[in-house]
Amino acid sequence: MKTKTVLFVLSLLAIGVLLAACGGNEAPAPTQPSQPASVATEVPEEQVPADDSADTPAQVPTLTPSQTVALAEIVNTTWNWVEMIENNPAAQPVVPVPEMYTIALFDNGVYTVRADCKSGQGTYTVNGNQIVLSPFPVTMQICSNESLEPQYLDFLGQVATFGMRDGKLVLGLQSGTGEMRFQEGGGAILSAEAYPNVTGIEMETLAIEFSGPHQFYLVPEIPYDDAQTPPVGLPQHVQAVFDEMLPPELQPGDPVFYIIPMAAYKEMWQNAGDSGVDDTLGLLQIALSEQPLPIPAEGMPVLPNEHAPAYNDLAAQGKYLSFDRGYGVRFVARFNQTPAPVTNEGLFYVFQGFSYDGNYFYAFFYPVTTAALPDTAEDVPEDEMTRFSDDTAAYMAERVQMLNGLSPEDWEINLETLDALVVSLDYFSTFDQPAAAPEPEANPLVDVAWQWTAFSDPAAGETPVADPENYVILFNEDSTFNLIADCNVGSGTYTMDGSALTLKVGQMTRMACGEESLSDRFVGYLGNVATYVFDDSGRLVFNLAADSGNLYFTGGATIEPPAPDEGVPTATALEPINVWAGPGKEYGSYGTVPIGATAEIVGKSADGKYWVVQVSTEIAPDGRGWVIATYVQAENVDNVPVIEAP
């Protein structure tokens, strides 16, 4: 089977020990290195000075500068920690199991660490031969009392330089207090955090209940390849691997749990013109829908081909499983191209299933054996070989019947233990999140000061409004509106359903605005609105109920006054109000300010009925506007000067 280098994820379960280093190129303040607790600190005999005096302490050779090396020569490699040189106190301990304490630097600025039973990854920065390893979270397992994990992580947090000496990577500690030496340990596999996770599964949430060693990895896409028989190909997916194996090391006989995004799996094979995945998944879905008993003794639909590369010629111990995350069928199976006696060779516990949401295909393979079978073909008794040769079909049926008669405890590993592993599968997927509510369509009426410019009725036709700026309605997002009706102001609520519009006028002031005022008429019209449209000229048109007429509006200017300085006199609008060019409506309106708008007061009218506020010179040439005092809350106005009307 072809393999390719596969990136894997270091599952960061929780924030653990943090390295002391911080980002940037400035090395953090030095701290006293810790001494590995379980490593002998004696200097090898050949390194002890010739003086045999017991009063003379052992000396470690003076640290010499390491050879400068290009970063490109040490990246993408696993380095095993072999020695720790300290000069205060002098010590040269040797690491007993170097491959348990590793570091790998990658050319994208990511580094990964193994510290005995823990692992993690972070980022690093380099300036010349100086290096800073950023803090990183590690997994939370508790290592043995003899573990060097705490000391190793402590030392890494003090790393300041890098170089090479005698074929070893040398990481120098801050202030020259010591150095860590590493032996090359082979190629490194970059953590999957370096590439996007498109499976939808959040890796840190994955969990299964299993007492043996296991680890989840995010495995990148394995391209479709029909040069193999049968063809192979997988989209980016998740694997749970066992016995401390890595995905690149996985072989067809190894235990593995696949979680494969089903849509991407089908799409990959469809794009290759191969219906194999569609057909097999379809057969499996039919089987799980009908749930025949007993399950077929052979020919079960099984994927992926990477782990089931031949015909399923034996299936026994069938059982349907249903659990929180999904459902499926488990059975003991083997895969052979040609008939062969039944032995423990190539027997697997197999689970094939789906997530309830239809987003994932599950496939689990775990080697099993039983004392009821010979281990290999060489161990098959002669009479059994004769039965196999004389009538293979009858022999296979008898073997399946025998295997079906075994209890779960008759297997190594207990089948119910593997069942429990399957049904314990848990994770969080972005597919679990409820679909985001569609963004509501923008309300075309809000945040515009709509000025009433004309009205019409079936008899009189369209009639213009003399002072549009005196009749303004302002819609808010919270289904309320504010209005100016000549000398009166008010508010209300509205409902919209498509083009249907209903306005309910609430509180209104009741000032007498003069015989020519349209205040009452305007308010009465608003209470009779049925629908709205925009005409060809862009005007907002309110259609009145029973085809009794229309109101026409144009969007007036909405003014945002400059923010006032702290402590100056201010006016805050209690209602949407007009900003006039002088102390009276006859001067004309510059536009409308919304509720809550605050402007600096620079003066007042002689009669005290208007405040003069600061506005942009783009709105008023002199930077002044006039607002009715009764519609604002004024503060700090004791010494405001009187300004003559323009």
Res 569 pLDDT > 90 = yes
**Do 227 and 184 fall into the same domain?**
no
For 301-340, b where at least 16 C-beta lie within 10 A, e where not — what string?
Answer: bbbbbbbbebebbbbbbbeeeebebbbbbbbbbbbeeeeb
Q: Which pLDDT score, from 0 to 100, does residue 60 have?
A: 46
> In whole angstroms, what is the distance from residue 42 CA to residue 644 CA?
97
Q: Is the peptide bond before 294 cis (omega within 30 degrees of 0)?
A: yes
Q: What Rg, from alpha-carbon coordinates, does the chain have? A: 40
Counted residue by residue, the chain has a size of 646
pLDDT value of residue 113: 86
> Is the predicted pLDDT of residue 30 greater than 70, yes or no?
no
The count of C-alpha atoms lying within 13 angstroms of the C-alpha of 158, restricted to the half-sphere facing its C-beta, is 23
Is the same domain home to 213 and 184? no
Q: Residue 595 has what pLDDT?
A: 78
Q: Domain boundary residue among 406, 436, 466? A: 436
- pLDDT, mean of residues 97-105: 91
Residue 56 pLDDT > 50: no
CATH code of residue 623: 2.30.30.40
Which of 171, 192, 213 delimits the end of a domain? 192
H or E, element range at 187 = strand 178-187
Going from the C-alpha of 74 to that of each of 136, 163, 273, 356, 582, the distances in angstroms are 21, 9, 43, 46, 78
Select the highest-mean-pLDDT range: 23-32, 108-117, 128-137, 447-456. Answer: 447-456
* Dist CA 546 CA 531 (whole Å): 11
DSSP collapsed to 3 states, 568-626:
CCEEEECCCEEEECCCCHHHCEEEEECCCCEEEEEEECCCCCEEEEECCCCCCCCCEEE
Q: In this structure, what are the phi and psi dihedrals at residue 6, rounded to the nearest 5 degrees? A: -115, 130
pTM of the model: 0.46
In a 10 Å sphere around its CB, with 0-12 CB exposed, 13-18 middle and 19+ buried, how is residue 147 labelled? Answer: buried
Peptide bond into 230 cis (omega under 30): yes
Query: Do 110 and 191 form a contact (C-beta atoms < 8 A)?
Result: yes
- Assess if residue 641 is contained within a domain: no
The distance from CA 586 to its chain's CA centroid, rounded to whole angstroms, is 60
**Same domain membership, residue 246 and residue 168:** no
3-state SS class at 353: strand
Which tens digits make up the pLDDT trace of 589-628? 788 887 788 999 999 999 999 999 999 888 888 899 999 8
Distance CA 527, CA 454 (A): 17
Omega into 89 within 30° of 0, i.e. cis?
yes
**Which tokens is 550 given?**
């229309």
| Cβ atoms of 224 and 231 closer than 8 Å | yes
- For CA atoms 303, 308, 314, 319, the dihedral sign is negative
Q: What was the pLDDT predicted at 109?
A: 78
pLDDT greater than 50 at residue 451: yes
Tell me, what's the pLDDT at 140?
A: 54
How far is Cα of residue 299 from the mean position of the Cα atoms in its chain?
40
Both 108 and 147 in a single domain?
yes
CB contact at 8 A, 415 and 332 = yes
pLDDT at residue 526 in the model? 96
Pair 209, 188 in one domain: no
The answer to whether residue 20 sits within a structural domain is no
The mean of the pLDDT values for the chain is: 83
183-219: pLDDT as tens digits:
998 776 554 445 578 899 988 899 999 988 888 888 7
404 & 478 share domain: no
| pLDDT tier at 14, thresholds 50, 70, 90 | very low
Per-residue confidence at 46, pLDDT binned at 50, 70, 90? very low
> Residue 61's closest CA among 48, 50, 70?
48
Binned at pLDDT 50, 70 and 90, residue 117 comes out as confident
Domain assignment present for 28: no
List Cα–Cα distances, 127 to 27, 34, 162, in angstroms: 11, 26, 10
The strand pairing partners of 216, in sequence order, are: 240
Summarize pLDDT for 373-412 with one digit per residue, the tens.
Answer: 999 999 999 999 999 999 999 999 999 999 999 999 999 9
The reported pLDDT for the residue numbered 138 is: 61
| Exposed / middle / buried, residue 390 (Cβ in 10 Å: 0-12, 13-18, 19+) | exposed
The answer to whether residues 426 and 505 belong to one domain is: no
Number of domains in the chain: 4
Q: What percent of the chain has pLDDT over 90?
A: 51
Does residue 646 lie within any of the structural domains?
no
On whether residue 301 sits in a domain, the answer given is: yes
**CA separation for the pair 34, 93 (Å, rounded):** 12
576 in the same domain as 464: no
Residue 537 sits in a domain of what CATH number? 2.40.128.270
How many C-beta atoms lie closer than 10 Å to residue 553's C-beta?
A: 24
Q: Of 217, 241, 222, give the one whose Cα is nearest residue 232.
A: 222
* Count of alpha carbons within 13 angstroms of residue 569, beta-carbon side: 16
Is-contact 587 581, C-beta < 8 A? yes
Higher pLDDT, 593 or 139: 593
Q: Taking residues 301-317, what's their average pLDDT?
A: 93
Q: What is the tens place of the pLDDT at every residue in 265-292?
A: 999 999 999 999 999 999 999 999 989 8
What is the pLDDT, as a whole number, of residue 456?
Answer: 92
Indicate if 432 and 500 belong to the same structural domain: no
Q: What percent of the chain has pLDDT over 70?
A: 84
- Give dist(CA 560, CA 555) in Å, integer: 15
- At a CB cut-off of 8 Å and minimum separation 6, what does 270 contact? 278
Which residues are CB-contacts of 525 (< 8 A; sequence separation ≥ 6)? Answer: 455, 542, 544, 549, 551
Domain assignment present for 34? no
3-state secondary structure of 328: strand
Q: Is residue 224 part of a domain?
A: yes
Q: Flag whether 4 is in a domain.
A: no
Q: Which of 4-18, 164-178, 493-507, 589-603 shows the lowest per-residue confidence on average (mean pLDDT)? A: 4-18
Res 589: pLDDT: 77
Residue 147 sits in the same domain as residue 95: yes
Return d(Cα 522, Cα 453) in angstroms, integer: 11
Max mean pLDDT among 29-33, 34-38, 639-643 falls in 639-643
Q: Are residues 549 and 583 in the same domain?
A: no
Range of the domain at 456: 449-556
Among 165, 104, 155, residue whose Cα is nearest residue 129 = 165
The two three-digit tokens of residue 585, written as one number: 């409506």
Q: Are residues 320 and 390 in the same domain?
A: yes
Q: Which of 192, 213, 248 is the last residue of a domain?
A: 192
